[in-house]
Amino acid sequence: MLWKHWSGKLAVVVILTLAGCGTLAGLSVYRVTLPVLAAPPVERACLVNDAPRICVVVVKEDFEALVVELKAACRALGGSEEECQTGRP
């Protein structure tokens, strides 16, 4: 049930990320394909800069696959290497 809750939020994050990654003038035929996650994300309490937050734990391979897909889509939509963070590991 938690996965259904997060899948909608994940879709919103993807859409907002892609919308901010480039101009619409150079629209690409690239189709974003979200990978199927091996396991649903899990919420956990955590500290970020000594401030309590809610963090999400995902399988590392799932996270990596999502990042690769978002970066590829960002570049396909005209984002620069810097904007899409593709010059870094």
- 21-64 pLDDT, tens per residue? 554 555 668 888 889 999 999 999 999 999 999 999 999 999 99
Q: Is residue 83 part of a domain?
A: no
Is pLDDT of 3 > 70?
no
Kindly state whether residue 21 falls inside one of the protein's structural domains: yes
Q: What percent of the chain has pLDDT over 70?
A: 66
Instruction: Please report whether residue 8 resides in a domain.
Output: yes
> Domain for residue 7, yes or no?
yes
Residue 84, domain member (yes or no): no
Domain that holds residue 65: 2-78
User: pTM above 0.85?
Assistant: no
Look at the chain and report how many structural domains it folds into: 1
* Long-range own/partner contacts, residues 29-34 (CB < 8 A, 24 or more apart): 30/72, 30/73, 30/76, 30/77, 32/69, 32/70, 32/73, 33/69, 34/10, 34/66, 34/69
Is residue 9 in a domain? yes
